[in-house]
């Protein structure tokens, strides 16, 4: 199995962490989707990473689809619970984390790809609000629990960990650690897992 992606994408990192937690072998193929000659459209018509290309050539894209598929491949380190209500709760945490990432990535694109004159401050503020309210929801949801869902490490923790560390990576000016010490402690603990330590964004 090949994973097409970049070392700076938080969505690709999510998939890499799932691969590591589940001890699945794969080949990482680096692709710059912003380069004029990118071949990403050959496997993902949406032109985004991560994209997984399986041994028979079939491709899967969108980190949520990929992570769900990977979790079915082996019972090792089950990341999504089976019972429907629990499953939905874990997927909802993942959706919250992904939504914050979407907002953070949009802010980054707006402030790096566009000339200053073309930037839309109201759009950036709208995305920033999603990050701010998302952080509050994460902090309230986690409270003083060790893990996001039901005292077990799940895909929800991988999602939240990837979102928080992306904020550190691209928005170091945002003092989310000061505002939410429980999230800071949680990310520090997650960062010690080999799957997180081996996939630090760069």
Ligand X SMILES: N[C@@H](CCC(=O)N[C@@H](CS)C(=O)NCC(=O)O)C(=O)O
Q: Interface with ligand X includes 195 (CB under 6 A)?
A: no
- Cα separation, 127 vs 106, in Å, equals 7
Binding characters for ligand X, 162-191, by CB under 6 A (x = yes): ------------------------------
- Among 44-52, 131-139, 140-148, 179-187, which window interacts with ligand X (CB under 6 A)? 44-52
- Among 61-69, 72-80, 123-131, 135-143, which window interacts with ligand X (CB under 6 A)? 61-69
- Cα separation, 5 vs 40, in Å, equals 9
- The nearer residue to ligand X, 49 or 180, going by C-beta atoms, is 49
Minimum distance between the CB of residue 140 and ligand X, rounded to whole angstroms?
24
Q: Interface with ligand X includes 98 (CB under 6 A)?
A: yes
Q: Interface with ligand X includes 49 (CB under 6 A)?
A: yes
Q: Which residues contact 100 (CB under 8 A, 6 or more apart)?
A: 130, 131, 134, 135, 163, 167
Q: Interface with ligand X includes 47 (CB under 6 A)?
A: yes
Residue of 2, 29, 64, 201 that binds ligand X (CB under 6 A): 64
Q: Interface with ligand X includes 108 (CB under 6 A)?
A: no
ω into 25 cis (within 30 of 0): no
- Cα separation, 40 vs 198, in Å, equals 25
Q: How many residues bind ligand X (CB under 6 A)?
A: 12
3-class SS of residue 174: coil
Which residues here bind ligand X, judged by CB under 6 A? 9, 11, 33, 47-50, 62-64, 98, 105
């Amino acid at each position: 199995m090949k994973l097409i992606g970049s070392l700076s994408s938080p969505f690709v990192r999510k998939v890499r962490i799932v691969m590591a937690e589940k001890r699945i072998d794969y080949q990482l193929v680096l692709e710059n989707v912003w380069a004029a000659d990118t071949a990403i459209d050959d496997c993902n018509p949406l032109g985004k990473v991560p994209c997984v290309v399986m041994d028979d050539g079939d491709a899967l894209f969108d980190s949520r689809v990929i992570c769900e598929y990977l979790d079915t491949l082996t019972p090792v380190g089950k990341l999504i619970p089976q019972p429907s209500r629990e499953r939905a709760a874990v997927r909802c945490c993942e959706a919250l984390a992904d939504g914050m990432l979407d907002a953070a990535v949009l802010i980054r694109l707006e402030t790096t790809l566009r000339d200053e004159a073309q930037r839309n401050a109201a759009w950036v503020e709208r995305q920033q609000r999603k990050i701010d309210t998302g952080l509050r929801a994460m902090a309230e949801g986690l409270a003083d629990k060790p893990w996001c869902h039901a005292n077990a490490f799940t895909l929800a923790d991988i999602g939240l960990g990837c979102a928080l560390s992306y904020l550190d990576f691209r928005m170091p000016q945002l003092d989310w650690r000061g505002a939410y010490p429980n999230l800071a402690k949680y990310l520090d603990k997650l960062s010690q897992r080999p799957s997180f330590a081996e996939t630090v964004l760069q």
